[in-house]
Structure 1
Amino acid sequence: MQVERPWLSSYPQGVPAEIDVDEFPSIVSVLQSSLEKFRDRPAFANLGKVITYAEIDRLSQQFAAYLLGELKLKKGDRVAIMMPNCLQYPIATFGVLRAGLTVVNTNPMYTARELKHQLEDSGASVLVVLDNFGAVVQEVLAETQVRQVVTTGLGDMLGFPKGPLVNFVLRHVKKMVPDYSLPGAIRFRDALTLGQMHPLPQVAIDAEDLAFLQYTGGTTGVAKGAMLTHRNLVANMQQAAAWIGTNVRYGEELIITALPLYHIFALTANGLVFMKFGGLNYLITNPRDMPAFVKELKKVPFTAITGVNTLFNGLLNTPGFDSIDFSRLHLTLGGGMAVQRAVAERWKKITGVTLVEAYGLTETSPAACINPMDLAEYNGSIGLPVPSTDACLKDESGNRVAQGEVGELCIKGPQVMKGYWQRPDETANVMDAEGWLHTGDMAKMDEKGFFYIVDRKKDMILVSGFNVYPNEVEDVIAMLPGVLEVGAVGVPDEKSGEAVKVVIVRKDPNLTAEEVKAHAKENLTGYKQPKYVEFRTELPKTNVGKILRRELRGPTPAA
């Protein structure tokens, strides 16, 4: 069935309806194009050290040659990378891709159980890990297929004397590197040296070859590896570049990369798209240290920043943020979770730049919808489907719903994954016979083609037969000046089946449950109002700052 595309009439000037997916056969060809064009430009910066595109070229070639020449890996073998944002990450990732191998992005905060599952499931034969997480690897290594571990310290690429100093402080002063023993492991710098001894062969990389096994769904059950091909990622780079390209200056952008590059949002939006633009990725290793993060922002004339709602909210509530020079900032992109109106409006007020919301999934590499970059104000929408992308809304029976009605958002386009690694049953659960990816997000579309997420299908609260969407409740509660953060969930209730509970981190220690309920009464219809209000010192979050609603359901206080 043909999809109408009402959103095309709302496209910003200069954005095409379709992109050329075949302009580049692989991520490596996009990378090589940038390495030639921007050789002398800075590519990545971290902890005071900057490396150029030429250095990325040389070092990633060395790592690729090490993997193929020294370890004799074969096309399609998987290499797990377990690092936060540091210079070794892009070197290793681009090295793996140039060798025709597959990157398995691994969250360094994983527990031993989670790490074992991912290494076993992916069948990774090599693991590159930061020293800080070596002790976790030690616990599970014997039970995996990993045959070579490459270890590195955070300071290893920073040069002398800074590098050794950083490593010493982390290990002996801050005690952030627990002792570990991994016999046979090789240091990252030694692997690069060995790589110099091997010529890098010409590797034929096909558009359908797997570039990344990107694990997802760990918060809802067993994590599954989304198979993202070179074509998927190239398509999404082309889509995002076409969308924001009218708003960037090639070779001049400096993007703040605070979300981890092992997460699909920062990987594509920052690491790959801004590499295509010849931009500089300014890597923040620990964005949770907000005062230090703000101090970093004061040092650099940044032009762009991506983040999730909790990151922007954290910055806005950190002393000194409002005195940063935002004169060069022209692009702020929010995704990964719903952007709250209160946060977006405050961001605009302080920085002068609209916080533009985007929407995507690991399974869509990730961008599926983005708001126009020339958006004057926050509009509560996730935007318009990006070029070469179709979107529709379906009901429980798989039928399209009428415009303005709520249905499950379904996506079709060249950025949609090949499927879940070795899980045809799970793939069949989300990909229907017509090739639509079912996102699990409930949404509606207006007459101009803008989509609005109403909520996650499984997070929906059913109060006396009425649907309550947590995002709406959270948005309203976040408007209260005394609220720092809020999460809304459904809890069992004898009378109504479920009732709304909000869990709040206070900005004003004197904020009471009564004030919260009174505010909700003014702004929400009866069944949407929270019956329970709980205060905590912090909210449980994923590694990228998404609130874990399922962990808020815990013990419910008296109403």
Structure 2
Amino acid sequence: MSTTTPGASAPAAESRADSIAATPATSPATAFTRLHQTIAPWVRSHPERLALVDAERSLRYGELDGAIAGTARALAALGVRGGDRVVLVTENCVGCAVLILALSALDAWAVPVNARLSQSEIGNIVEHAGARVALYLDGAHAEAREHGLARGAQPAQWPHVGRLLVGAVNAAAVPEPVEPAARDQVAALIYTTGTTGASKGVMLTHANMMFIGRSNRAQGRVQPGDRVYGVLPMSHVYGLSVLLVGPLSNGATVFYEARFRPETLARALAEQQLTVLHGVPALYAKLIEWSRAQATPLRAPALRMAQSGGAPLTETLKAAFESSFGIVLNNGYGMTETSPTVCQTRVESPRADCSVGPVVPEVEIRLGDPLPDGSGELLVRGPNVMKGYYRRPDLTAQVIDADGWLHTGDLARIDADGAVFIVGRSKEIIIHSGFNVYPEEVEQSINAFPAVLQSAVVGRAVEGNEEVVAFVEVRAGMALDPAALRAFLREQLSPYKIPHEVRVVEHLPAAPSGKILKAKLREMLAAAG
């Protein structure tokens, strides 16, 4: 399954801090070599349009150009150079977006880190990245302030960023070479395992990120003048792509929110006339659950596009969303290593099932080593694939082969019409009595039970076998009847797929992005013996 190959390379980079809004060429696809340059058409044509909004400040496109230039000068005065890595400890806010774009103007690498990580996790990232400096965005973000104070950072006030704490400049930091080509120069270093294991930094280039903006435009997922809700953390690649790159390169407005609260989102949908909404399934589930518990209908008079990603979507949740809002909930698939988009359902061809849709234009996919059921590991090649893992060429070589195919580790099947279905992680398959059990399939069935808000299924090793164990988060005001759940599952699943044990938990452990941390659940099982 493939589409056309990527277009020609772009001209040499213009990265001076005082020359942000480069004059675009005729074709937006080839006009820019750096991320910050993509706002140029909107600075010129719509200077009065709001670009970035949060609870404390807002910037119009005509102001954003100067904000980036001024912030780049402030960073340069600290000693930040091209090729330096700069850690940003923050929640979503205007200041974070400005800093990422200002680092682009200096050819430095942005390393956004969620303030909700622990001290040790942030310390590991700072050390592994060889950061020149760490910035802790203060404002309303108490965790970022506490991290900065604990590491001896000094308070400052930058005009377009707001209050922040500035860490000590690391004189020993060695800058990476600055590469003229967008496909070679790193824009962002995203750490994928800071919450669950050893540091692993994904190098995403300017070309990787700008491809996502171009893809969003080509598919009509974001349009000039759209009003986008920004609660997915920009420290995660999903949030970075759809709440910064996509909107700003396409002339939209982003309303940043630091933390998800269903009542805040419900109010924003109605009052801010939001037109585009992105979220993980847990966000949509909790929004609908809040609406039911409060007996408050959800109003979104301007909403035209809703997208789910980051975790498996269930048919029950998709149907509930579409019943509540009267529009299609689109689905997609990606990963940090692919910037992140690989597949998306098409806006013009809505689906009733939970396929993640066909591969996006300019990207190729295929299945490696198909299993008897027709599924196989999904392989990806295209302009979205990362440069590699920072300082880990060995890990890079394990996942990107000599022909440029990224081995995702995800198992998928591809229907005759090109629709892709993700059936599980190759490392998460549970082998029970010789049969393969895909956790996502079991979770889909459990989540369809009325009392279940969300679930996660993992394997537990026992003598000569592996058991299926389900962790379940129950809807507010309801109780789970285990016997009724098992009777329900017997109608949905083969006997070997039905969980040996169902454990009710108050909240499933989740990363700041909303993704359920199954490693934590396995640790809980191990601790319980």
* Matching of residues 372-411 of structure 1 within 5 Å: 372-395=346-369, 401=370, 405-411=374-380
SS at match of 1:540: coil
Match of 1:211, SS state, is strand
User: Which residue of 1 is the match for residue 145 of structure 2?
Assistant: 134
- After the TM superposition, which residues 531-550 of structure 1 pair with which residues of structure 2 at under 5 Å, given as runs? 531-550=500-519
Equivalenced residues, count: 491
**Identity over the aligned pairs, expressed in percent?**
29
Give yes or no for contact 1:43–1:56 (8 Å, CA) kept in 2: yes
**CA contact under 8 A between 2:203 and 2:388: conserved in structure 1?**
yes
What are the equivalent positions in structure 2 for 1:191-230 lying under 5 Å apart?
A: 206-207=181-182, 208-230=184-206
Letter in 2 for 1:443: A
Q: Secondary structure at the match of 1:317?
A: helix
Distance 1:79 1:326 in 2: 38
Residue 86 (structure 1) aligned with residue 66 (structure 2): no
Match of 1:276 among 242, 249, 270: 249
Aligned to 2:400: 431
Taking a change above 3 Å as real, the CA distance of residues 77 and 345 of structure 1, as seen in their structure-2 partners, is same
Q: Tell me if structure 1 keeps the 8 A contact 2:430–2:439.
A: yes
Q: How many angstroms apart in 2 are the aligned matches of 1:474 and 1:451?
A: 18
Kindly provide the amino acid, as one letter, of the partner of residue 51 in structure 2: A
Q: Which moved more, 1:84-93 or 1:128-137?
A: 128-137
TM-score (norm 2): 0.86
Gaps in structure 2 of 5+ consecutive residues: 11-29, 170-177
One-letter amino acid matched to 1:216: T
Partner of 2:13: none
Equivalent residue in structure 2 for 1:460, among 425, 429, 442 = 429
CA pair 211-223 structure 1, distance change in 2 beyond 3 A: same
- Label 1:350 to 1:403 Cα distance change in 2 as closer, same or farther (>3 A): farther
Q: Which residue of 1 aligns with 2:337?
A: 363
SS in 2 for 1:458: coil
Alpha-carbon distance in structure 2 between the residues aligned to 1:340 and 1:17? 33
The whole-number CA distance in structure 1 between the counterparts of 2:78 and 2:201 is 24
Aligned residue among 466, 469, 489 for 1:501: 469
- 1:12-411 mapped onto 2 (5 Å cutoff): 22=10, 23=30, 24-47=32-55, 49-68=57-76, 70-131=77-138, 132=142, 133-140=144-151, 206-207=181-182, 208-244=184-220, 248-250=222-224, 252-287=225-260, 289-319=261-291, 323-395=297-369, 401=370, 405-411=374-380
Measure how far apart 1:480 and its partner are. 0.9
Cα distance in 2 between the residues matched to 1:44 and 1:272: 12
Structure 1 distance, partners of 2:122, 2:187, is 20
Match of 1:522 in 2: 491
Equivalent-residue separation in structure 2 for 1:182 and 1:42 (angstroms)? 28
CA contact (8 A) 2:330 2:350 kept: no
Aligned to 1:176: none
CA-atom RMSD, angstroms?
2.8
1:507-552 CA distances to partner (integer Å, 9 max, x unpaired)?
Answer: 2533211111111111100100111111111111111111112222
Q: Distance in 2 between matches of 1:494 and 1:404?
A: 27
Give 5+ residue unaligned stretches, structure 1: 9-15, 142-147, 168-179, 186-202, 396-400
Mean Cα deviation higher: 448-457 or 313-322? 313-322
Structure 1 residue 92: Cα displacement: 1.1
Instruction: Show CA shifts across 1:103-126 (max 9, x none).
Output: 011121121111111101111112
How many Å separate the matches in 2 of 1:232 and 1:249? 20
Evaluate the alpha carbon distance shift between residue 505 and residue 43 of structure 1 in structure 2; reply closer, same or farther with a 3 A threshold. same
Q: Distance in 1 between matches of 2:328 and 2:254?
A: 21
Distance (whole Å) between structure 1 residues aligned to residue 136 and residue 165 of structure 2: 13
Does the aligned pair in 2 maintain the 1:129–1:149 contact within 8 Å?
Answer: no
Distance 1:468 1:66, change over 3 A: same
Contact 1:60 1:91 (8 Å CA) reproduced: yes
1:484 aligned partner: 453
Over 3 Å counting, the alpha-carbon distance change for 1:295 and 1:305 in structure 2 is same
Counterpart-to-counterpart distance in 2, 1:121 and 1:448:
44
Moved more, 44-53 or 99-108: 44-53
Structure 2 Cα separation of the partners of residues 26 and 441 of structure 1: 31
Query: TM-score w.r.t. structure 1 length?
Result: 0.82
Q: Secondary structure at the match of 2:290?
A: coil
Q: How many Å separate the matches in 1 of 2:167 and 2:338?
A: 39
- Aligned residue for 1:223, secondary structure, equals coil
